[in-house]
Amino acid sequence: MPECEDQCPRCGAPLRCTPDDIEHCDCAPIRIHPQALSAIQADYSRCLCPACLSALSAQHSAMAPKDEPSGRSDPPP
């Protein structure tokens, strides 16, 4: 695949990934949660659109609080 320009595998939005010009890649400005990145790589093995990257990163940030002293992972009822 010489070009990396198609659709986001998660939501189907137009996606333009430019690894040769990473500063101008759609995903470059997205700050993504490390756990979200791992999950994305496991689930999709390719780039997602910025909206999905942001959404998944936020999702994982919310799901995995790092400073939870009790150690419980169950959400409150």
Q: Give the residues lining the site for Zn ion (CB under 5 A).
A: 8, 10-11, 13, 48-49, 52
CB contact at 8 A, 59 and 43: no
Phi and psi at residue 16, in whole multiples of 5°?
A: -125, 110
Please report how close the Cβ of residue 44 comes to Zn ion at its closest, in angstroms. Answer: 10
Please report how close the Cβ of residue 15 comes to Zn ion at its closest, in angstroms. Answer: 7
Q: 40 vs 52, which CB is nearer to Zn ion?
A: 52
Q: 55 vs 73, which CB is nearer to Zn ion?
A: 55
Q: Which residue has the tokens 């009822």?
A: 77
For residues 3 and 22, what is the distance between their CA atoms, to the nearest angstrom? 14
